[in-house]
Amino acid sequence: MNSVPFIRLAAGGLFLFLGTLVLAVSLLKSVPVVHSSQGEPGSPSFYVNGEVLPDHIFYPILMVRDRLRLEAAEPTERLYLQTEYANRRLRAGLDLLAKDNQLLALTTITKAQKYLLRSSEEAMDSQPPAGQAVLSHVVRTIEFHSAAVASVKDQFSDQDRAVLDKLQAELEVVAQRLSEQFPERSL
């Protein structure tokens, strides 16, 4: 009779191990195909120094964590988190550009700009209205991103520059709308 609890414990441990193994394999397989600067498929990297960039093998895990933080956040905190994620993505995009990976850098920078667009739209639609500090923060972040992207645009192809120009134009319109929607607040 003493062996029955041990067998159950061993079986439970085995199932837990196998479940963890399946989860780990699926996470590793879910890593998007990384492309080199020539557009050819590459493989995800594993490195220990510096920030985890989109070409890192554990990047999908960080994205899941970020998504969970966004879903659990209060509206004002959510706006700050989105601008934080936009800044982190911009920094990662610039780092990828420095590593001569234009394709992944472009994708990462456009995702950063989409975070900013989402935070701007949520700031305009928030009920009760977002405070002056939040609105000012969003507008300043948009201005920072516009300047950073403008400074590296010449490192992209004409086609990629057109994508960045389109997103920047959208951001400028949104920043203008934020400023106009709340004229009593000096942004």
The residue type at 126: S
Identify the weakest region by mean pLDDT among 35-39, 119-123, 140-144.
Answer: 35-39
Q: Does 109 fall in a domain?
A: yes
Q: Does 58 fall in a domain?
A: yes
Q: Are 152 and 94 in contact (CB under 8 A)?
A: yes
pLDDT in tens, 4-36: 676 777 777 777 887 877 766 665 555 454 444
CA 44, CA 126: separation in Å to the nearest integer? 38
The residue type at 37: S
Q: Residue 47 has what pLDDT?
A: 44
Q: How confident is the model at residue 128 (pLDDT cuts 50, 70, 90)?
A: low
Q: Does 25 fall in a domain?
A: no
Q: What is the DSSP letter of 45?
A: B
Q: Residue 67 has what pLDDT?
A: 84
Q: Does 15 fall in a domain?
A: no
Tokens of 64: 């899941």
Q: Does 142 fall in a domain?
A: yes
- Domains contained in the chain, number: 1
Q: Does 121 fall in a domain?
A: yes
What is the mean predicted confidence (pLDDT) over 32-52?
A: 50
Domain that holds residue 69: 51-181
pLDDT over 70 for what percent of the chain?
74
Q: Does 24 fall in a domain?
A: no
Q: Residue 186 has what pLDDT?
A: 44
Q: Are 153 and 161 in contact (CB under 8 A)?
A: yes
Backbone angles phi, psi at 56, to 5 degrees: -85, 145
Q: Does 157 fall in a domain?
A: yes
